[in-house]
Amino acid sequence: MSLDLQAIVRAVGGECLQHRVTDRTRIDGVAHIEAFVVVGNPDYVTLVTGSTTELQRRLEYTNSVEDPLVNAVFVSHENSAALRALLAEHRMTGILGARVDQVALHATLAALIAEDRAASDRLVAAGMNVLTQVARRGGVTAVIAELARRIDGWAVLLDAQGQLIASAGAGRLHISDAVAVALGRPVRVRHEGLQVHQVGSDRDLAGYLVIATRSSSTSRSRDLATQAAALFDLLLRTHDPSRTERLGRGALYEILIGGGDSAQALLRRWGVHERSLTGFSLGARTRTVDLERALRRWFDELGAEHIFAAESDGIRGFVRDDLAAELASRVQAFESMGGLVALGLGDPAPTEQLNRSAVQARQALDTALEEGQRVLSFSRLPTVDLVLRALNGSPRDQLARVLSPLFDDAGEPGELAQTLRVFLAEHGAHRRSAERLGVHRQTLVARIRRVEELTGLSMDQADDRATAWLALRVAGL
């Protein structure tokens, strides 16, 4: 329901006398005075109609016992001093002086509310139609992203034990609050108005859907989320025989990245006998496209082995050198309703040394997404390419040491290094960077300040940003 008291005043005329509730309060229904018994939802208000005599008799009859009627809103075409005084005495909100006479007033209000409910139902039905279509293309991840967009807020999907399955628009604090509310933990929740929707039945619980909306249409969001929870129940229980295959490909991909004789031997067992391959990275600015399904179809059309693995931010893999251009042409021609789909290509590399080509492909993909290009080869990055190729020995090591405080003892990048890469890739845009990282904007600001403290660089200085970017490239990020 989206109707509030202001909307009623605009529709039937009159003046709103605000006492217990304001004129921004939303409405859940209309009733005659004698039929009103209880407040259905404390966040909404019920309109009541009747004569001044009926209202006075009902209020005076209660005496010291507070009648729930005082929490409703009396609507009348009358606007007398006695009626105003009666409402003021009991602090009851009213809309007086309606231009519709008393006989037609109740029917008019009922029609307005019914029309509003029908419009809300149509929007929910349209939303579910889109969510269903999105589910076919991108599964749970795509549905949660579209749901968050439609409710103008954030959404978190948890399993029955409170472990995160998927989220959209939610930072770490949102997820913590979602877990606390879903599991009923006695902690202070930092976000009010969270809605928890059970996924599955009490006997066969699959998880919880927690949402929060910035929109005033909470009931519409509730209805859409309730139906989305049923859709998630279906998606989570649908057997996916390719899951084991994806896990296996991921493990095999790690062996290829490790290089050496084991990588060559694995490729031969995989049916790949080429001496060199080209690394690629496929990513998107949208979560509503099933990249893996599209890539699988393209590789089948090319007659290529499925040497790729899905990661959280895209798909990484290798393709025969002679098929790289064919793969690029398919990405170039791919039309996505949700946003940009981009491909980054590395330089061909020997099968025992594929890691460098994989790193180059990821760097090319990052630049392609930043610049809005569909296909980009690492060799087309002249500035970064020339600088990195010219650096050898001591200068390269010195550049790498600039960001050494952001890496652990094993040389693996930490949270701050990943944050810096996203921040620079988004040209220092705090909002977009925070969204990509899934954190609050203030959390991002705190991390960047910590990076500056540890490295001595200032992200306000162009030279320092360039230095940090090159250092990240040297590190393979």
Both 389 and 367 in one domain: the answer is no
**66 within some domain:** yes
**29 within some domain:** yes
- Give the CATH number, domain containing residue 428: 1.10.10.2840
User: What is the arithmetic mean of pLDDT over 302-324?
Assistant: 87
Both 270 and 323 in one domain: the answer is yes
What is the 8-class DSSP label of residue 337?
Answer: S
**118 within some domain:** no
User: What is the arithmetic mean of pLDDT over 251-264?
Assistant: 86
* Least confidently predicted of 21-25, 300-304, 387-391, 408-412: 387-391
The domain boundary residue, chosen from 346, 380, 414: 380
Contact 464, 457 (CB under 8 A): yes
Q: Does residue 137 carry a pLDDT above 90?
A: no
Contact 277, 268 (CB under 8 A): no
**125 within some domain:** no
- Give the CATH number, domain containing residue 305: 3.30.70.260
The domain boundary residue, chosen from 194, 209, 237: 237
Both 28 and 155 in one domain: the answer is no
Both 253 and 338 in one domain: the answer is yes
Both 410 and 475 in one domain: the answer is yes
User: What is the arithmetic mean of pLDDT over 365-393?
Assistant: 72
Please write the tens of the pLDDT for every residue from 275-302.
Answer: 899 999 998 877 667 788 888 889 888 8
The pLDDT of residue 64? 41
The pLDDT of residue 281? 93
Contact 12, 6 (CB under 8 A): no
Q: Does residue 40 carry a pLDDT above 80?
A: no
Coil/strand/helix, residue 216: coil
* Least confidently predicted of 25-39, 54-68, 214-228, 394-408: 394-408
- Sign of the four-CA dihedral 155, 171, 244, 146: positive
Q: What's the length of the chain? A: 477
Please write the tens of the pLDDT for every residue from 58-113.
Answer: 887 765 456 788 888 999 999 999 899 989 888 899 999 998 887 788 899 988 88
What is the 8-class DSSP label of residue 378?
Answer: G
Both 215 and 279 in one domain: the answer is no
- Sign of the four-CA dihedral 68, 73, 79, 84: positive
- Give the CATH number, domain containing residue 24: 3.40.1390
The pLDDT of residue 279? 93
* Least confidently predicted of 125-134, 140-149, 354-363, 408-417: 408-417
The pLDDT of residue 338? 61
Both 366 and 452 in one domain: the answer is no
**108 within some domain:** no
Tokens 């499925």: give the residue: 306
**113 within some domain:** no
Both 429 and 448 in one domain: the answer is yes
**126 within some domain:** no
**Concatenated DSSP letters for 69-133?**
GGGSEEE-S---HHHHHHHHHTT-EEEE--SS-HHHHHHHHHHHHHHHHHHHHHHHHHHHHHHHH
Range of the domain at 88: 5-100
Residue % of the chain over a pLDDT of 70: 86
Amino acid at 166: A
The pLDDT of residue 442? 85
Both 400 and 350 in one domain: the answer is no
Q: Does residue 476 carry a pLDDT above 70?
A: no
**Maximum mean pLDDT: which of 41-50, 237-246, 285-294, 345-354:** 345-354
**274 within some domain:** yes
Both 248 and 374 in one domain: the answer is yes
Both 21 and 40 in one domain: the answer is yes
- Give the CATH number, domain containing residue 226: 3.30.450.40
**Concatenated DSSP letters for 239-285?**
--THHHHHHHHHHHHHHHHH-SHHHHHHHHHTT---SEEEEEEEEES
Both 247 and 291 in one domain: the answer is yes
The pLDDT of residue 191? 64
* Least confidently predicted of 137-141, 152-156, 244-248, 430-434: 244-248
**Looking at the 3D structure of the chain, how many domains does it have?**
4
Nearby residues of 239 by Cβ (< 8 Å), 6 or more positions away:
none
The domain boundary residue, chosen from 380, 415, 447: 380
Which candidate, 48, 54, 51, places its Cα nearest to that of 27? 48
Q: Does residue 385 carry a pLDDT above 70?
A: no
**Concatenated DSSP letters for 164-180?**
EEEEES--HHHHHHHHH
Please write the tens of the pLDDT for every residue from 175-198.
Answer: 888 888 888 877 666 666 688 899
Contact 17, 87 (CB under 8 A): yes
pLDDT confidence bin for 344, thresholds 50/70/90: very high
User: What is the arithmetic mean of pLDDT over 257-264?
Assistant: 86
